[in-house]
Every structure is written in structure tokens, then in C-alpha cells.
Chain A
Amino acid sequence: EIVLTQSPATLSLSPGQRATLSCRASQSVFSYLAWYQQKPGQAPRLLIYDAVNRATGIPARFSGSGSGTDFTLTISGLQPEDFATYYCLQDYSYPWTFGQGTKVEV
């Protein structure tokens, strides 16, 4: 099973600041990595797939980078609605696994 480790667990920032979230895989997942945003009481929402591609309707301030074992989600200029928990998912091999999440808070 591929283990995904996200860091930091919590990120305390202010609106307008840049957020940098990390996801590290225990072995290469090539570019088979996705990022999700989840707000309390809501289902997760796809932000980024295949490491670098924004999903439909996702603002340009969200960007993904990386390949192999090291990945980054960057939010350039945090908006109030961006404060949420973010998860990475590897869809390279079964069982698919998620990171434990990074909470972006004010």
C-alpha cells in the first residue's frame, strides 16, 4: 500500500497570503495524484488531477506541481472561501490512498 504523507497538518494564514501544501508518497506514483478540498459538512471537491491539471470550474489561483514522490498544491492569494481541509489522493495503484489532510485556517 502506498502511504501519502501531507504537511503541515495545519496551516495558519490570512486572506491574500500564499498557501503551499505538500504531499509525499512512499513510492513513485508518477503523475497519478489528485487534490481535493473539503469544507465542514460537505463532500470533497476535486481541485487538481494528474498532479497539475485544474478540474473544471476551479479558479486559476489553485495550482499543482510535482511528480514521482513529491507534490505541491499552491493557492496564490487565499480567498475567504479557501479556508478548508485539503487532501491528496494517489490513483496509481489499488488500494487508492489519501493523505491525512492539511487544514488551512485563519
Chain B
Amino acid sequence: EVQLVESGGGLVQPGGSLRLSCEASGFSFSGDEMNWVRQAPGKGLEWVSYISARGDTIYYADSVRGRFTISRDNAKNSLYLQMNILRAEDTAVYYCARSSGYLVNWGQGTLVTVSS
């Protein structure tokens, strides 16, 4: 069974940093593409970032480019999202998601709150 477990969310002040992690199991993590998707409270879904299986191709949404960095450690079956210069509008539940073209499996999410 595919499992994706996010961690690292919490309360951070505007301008601060946070690193999210996603631990994967139940599939060949090193062979699959991964993504981060977020959802602001009461709002819709927003795709944030993509990383290829080997980590050599990366894409970002315009809203986070230059502030967020996606990475992975295939030896640890883990995906990361380093978030810097956080803004109030980054407040959201952050999901990691495995993709095969489309988003196939999702974690349960971790809440990031940016507030003073």
C-alpha cells in the first residue's frame, strides 16, 4: 500500500523559513516523480512544485519560485520542501503527491501557518 506521510508544518512568522518532509513507502520511490500541492484554508488546490525521479528536472509555480526549493533523497525515500521568505498567503495545508503524469497518490498533508 502506498503511504505518504508529511511532517514539518507549524506556525512561523512572516519572513521566516520552514522545511517540510514527506516520507514514502509502499512503492519504488526512486523511480517515481513527486510533487507538492497546497490548499489554503477554505480554498481550492494549488500545484506548487515537481521533481523528477532522479531529481534532475524541477518545476515551480510562479507564486513560490525563488523562495521554495524542492529536493529528494532516494536513499531515505524522502521528499522535501524548503520554504523561505514565507508570507501570510503561504498559509495552507501542504500535500506531497506521487505522480505518473497526473497526481496519483496523496499524503494527508501538513499545515503551515504564517502569522505574527
Contact = CB atoms under 8 A, between A and B. Distances in A.
A73 interface: no
Contacts of B45: 36, 38, 44, 87, 89, 98, 101
A50 B101 CA distance: 9
Interface in B92-114: 95, 99, 101-109
Instruction: Label chain B's interface by main secondary structure.
Output: strand
A100 interface: yes
B31 interface: no
A73 to B, nearest CB: 14
B26 interface: no
A59 interface: no
B44 A50 contact: no
B85 interface: no
Contact of B102 (A1, A34, A95): A34
A49 B107 contact: no
A100 B45 CA distance: 8
A95 B62 contact: yes
Q: How large is the interface on A (under 10, 10 to 19, 20 to 34, 35 or more residues)?
A: 20 to 34
Contacts of B62: 1, 95
Interface in B65-109: 95, 99, 101-109
A91 interface: yes
B61 A87 contact: no
Contact of A43 (B44, B46, B95): B95
A46 interface: yes
B44 A44 contact: no
A42 B108 CA distance: 7
8 contacts: A34-B102, A43-B107, A44-B95, A89-B102, A91-B101, A95-B60, A96-B50, A98-B46
Q: Which 4 A-B pairs have the closest CB atoms?
A: A34-B102, A43-B106, A96-B47, A94-B59
